Amino acid sequence: KQEVTQIPAALSVPEGENLVLNCSFTDSAIYNLQWFRQDPGKGLTSLLLIQSSQREQTSGRLNASLDKSSGRSTLYIAASQPGDSATYLCAAAEETSGSRLTFGEGTQLTVNP
């Protein structure tokens, strides 16, 4: 059974700092991995999707990497802004389990002005 863990659970940084969020998964047979952002009481906004054959994906100030062999993914946020404050979730999709996503518990990020 796939298990996804995110470290740290919470992170508080000053504005402008570069930061890294970590995601680890126990079963390396993933199809892809998706990073989401969730604002309080809201739904999930997809940030980046990395296929199993890819090493990284970039969108603006965000960069996500994937290392299947070690069961890890990282989300790098450059030059953080207060508007980046949210909970960040990673989710692994396994082809063997059909279409379900297995989510981590999330990292709650606060960027202080």
Partner 1 sequence: KAGVTQTPRYLIKTRGQQVTLSCSPISGHRSVSWYQQTPGQGLQFLFEYFSETQRNKGNFPGRFSGRQFSNSRSEMNVSTLELGDSALYLCASSLNGNLFYGYTFGSGTRLTVV
Judged by CB, which is closer to partner 1: 45, or 81?
45
- Burial class of residue 4, CB neighbours in 10 A (0-12, 13-18, 19+): buried
Distance, in Å, from the CA atom of 75 to the CA atom of 15, rounded to the nearest integer, reads: 17
55 binds partner 1 (CB under 8 A): no
Choosing from 14, 41, 60, 83, the residue that interacts with partner 1 (CB under 8 A) is 41
Distance, in Å, from the CA atom of 3 to the CA atom of 33, rounded to the nearest integer, reads: 13
Least distance to partner 1, CB of residue 21, Å: 16
Distance, in Å, from the CA atom of 20 to the CA atom of 41, rounded to the nearest integer, reads: 24
- Of 20-39, binders to partner 1 (CB under 8 A) are 31-32, 34, 36
Binding site for partner 1 (CB under 8 A): 31-32, 34, 36, 41-46, 49, 51, 89, 91, 93, 95, 97-106
